[in-house]
Amino acid sequence: MTVTIVGSQLGDEGKGALVDLWGGDADVVARYQGGDNAGHTVVEDGDEYKLSLVPSGAVRDKVGVLGNGCVVNPKTLFSEIDELRDRGLDPDVRVARRAHVIMPYHRVLDGIEEEAKSDSDLDAGTTGRGIGPTYEDKAGRRGIRIGDLLDPEVLRDRLEYVVPQKRALAEDVFGIQAGEAFDIDAIYEEYRAIGERLERESMTVNAGAFLASHVDAGESVLFEGAQGTSIDIDHGIYPYVTSSNPTAGGAATGTGVGPTVVGRGEVVGIVKAYLSRVGTGPLPTELTGDDEDLADCIREKGGEFGTVTGRPRRIGWLDVPMLRHAARANGITSLAVNHIDVLAGLDEVKVGHSYDLDGEELLSMPATTERWGRCEPNLREFEPWPEVDWAAVAAEGYESIPENAREYLDYLVEEVGAPIYAVGVGPDRAQTIELQNPFEQ
């Protein structure tokens, strides 16, 4: 049995809480794309763990796998593992030998290119972690993979080919002084030591074979998507996207199990009751102008500041065409809706039900971002719901959610065409009301 958790919006939907909740029923939790751009906060008994690379299941003693579709900054990996160990946990993390490594020059180039693009409004507002440049090198067949760190000769050969190119790019194209991040010998020494630690701690695996053996043994695997559908490189708002596939198809290509393995399981779309966005680009339902105060209120209450970068997030009403798009692109079989408590006590609650584009009503997202930017949302208003004791609601269950909020949830079920399996009414794991465990089908 597999369960795939995908972000239905722009990332930051609160996937970590659900992965953590259902990860308890999984034997293995695998990430299939992205890298240390994915901030997830897991709250366990009031203890907060901020992770950006280690799968959140690690907080619950699960085997965590970083699949071949991930890009791995080994320094982040080790610092997160070391911190979890310092806090008394014993995370078991395995890394695909086919996963690509984020090298020091990737991070530098990420920053330079964003800077260069900013004159033309094409900067994506990246997290600056080197994600895009690493995926570029993967597609350009000049990347360095985790498996290469284990083999001194291969590592040396690869570096000798690629680093001079990167140095020339930095110096001749972007006109910056290339420093240590572009020094073959320094990189070689550091990354050989990393390879030795990976080997010493038996952390590397052939991810596809490793996961298949668990699936074949009848164990449960949870695929943890990072980011969200609308920042998917293929299905998102290109070019304001991340460089991987957060959509459910990525769970197969990014781990090495077949799409049938993923498709036989559940695909749970995680939805936040409003929108937030750390990056640039259009956002039709954004709360701006007269609605700035409302945006501030939601931002503060929802803690909408980037986990990785600390940047304040832009805020908007829930965008339902975006959800219909996500339902199709992922084959969503069920939903988990988070943060309905954040909208409590507002004077008004709205959603973008459809778009108006050039006099036509659209129910889903257009394929170009320029057209999406010209969409005017047709807002639908809901009766607001009051502030209540959400901890008590969480303890009592779904029926104790205020009636108006339940109407809002019923509307989502109807529009997206999938049942709700969980509702988040607060940040702690205990504040997620479970209606159905996707592993118990």
For residue 71, the minimal CB distance to ligand IMP (Å) is: 9
In angstroms, rounded to a whole number, what is the distance separating the alpha carbons of residues 55 and 102? 17
Q: Would you count residue 132 as binding ligand IMP (CB under 6 A)? A: yes
For residue 106, the minimal CB distance to ligand IMP (Å) is: 10
The residue of the chain with the least Cβ separation from ligand IMP equals 279
Q: Would you count residue 278 as binding ligand IMP (CB under 6 A)? A: yes
For residue 36, the minimal CB distance to ligand IMP (Å) is: 9
Element (H, E) at 162: helix 152-168
244 token code pair:
């991987």
420 token code pair:
């709700």
Q: Which of 42, 95, 124, 159 binds ligand IMP (CB under 6 A)?
A: 124
For residue 276, the minimal CB distance to ligand IMP (Å) is: 8
Q: Which is nearer to ligand IMP, 122 or 346 (CB)?
A: 122
320-330 vs 403-416: helix axis angle to the nearest 10? 50
Q: Is the peptide bond before 239 cis (omega within 30 degrees of 0)?
A: yes
Q: Would you count residue 131 as binding ligand IMP (CB under 6 A)? A: yes
Choose one: 5-13, 206-214, 327-335, 400-408; the region binding ligand IMP (CB under 6 A): 5-13
Q: Which is nearer to ligand IMP, 227 or 431 (CB)?
A: 227
3-state secondary structure of 213: helix
- From the list 20, 36, 40, 214, the catalytic residue is 40
Residues 6+ apart with CB under 8 A from 143: 100, 101, 134, 137
Site residues for ligand IMP, 15-54, by CB under 6 A, read 37-39
HEC string of 66-134 equals ECCCEEECHHHHHHHHHHHHHCCCCCEEEEECCCEECCHHHHHHHHHHHHHHHHHCCCCCCCCCCHHHH
Q: Which is nearer to ligand IMP, 241 or 393 (CB)?
A: 241
Q: Would you count residue 67 as binding ligand IMP (CB under 6 A)? A: no
In angstroms, rounded to a whole number, what is the distance separating the alpha carbons of residues 207 and 47? 31
Q: Which is nearer to ligand IMP, 37 or 253 (CB)?
A: 37
Interaction pattern, residues 221-240, with ligand IMP; x per rule: CB under 6 A: -----xx---x--------x
Amino acid at 164: P
Compute how many residues bind ligand IMP; rule: CB under 6 A. 22
Q: Which of 8, 9, 73, 126 binds ligand IMP (CB under 6 A)?
A: 126
Place of tokens 């559940």: 266
Radius of gyration of the chain (CA): 22
Has 12 been annotated as catalytic?
yes
C-alpha closest to that of 254 among 225, 215, 220: 225
Q: Which of 11, 249, 352, 426 binds ligand IMP (CB under 6 A)?
A: 11
Q: Would you count residue 59 as binding ligand IMP (CB under 6 A)? A: no
Do residues 397 and 385 lie in contact, with contact meaning Cβ atoms separated by under 8 Å? Answer: no
Q: Which of 24, 111, 125, 282 binds ligand IMP (CB under 6 A)?
A: 125
Has 106 been annotated as catalytic?
no
For residue 371, the minimal CB distance to ligand IMP (Å) is: 19
For residue 126, the minimal CB distance to ligand IMP (Å) is: 4
Residues 6+ apart with CB under 8 A from 20: 42, 44, 56, 57, 59, 60, 429
**What positions carry a catalytic annotation?**
12, 40
Residues near ligand IMP, by CB under 6 A: 10-12, 37-39, 124-127, 129, 131-132, 226-227, 231, 240-243, 278-279
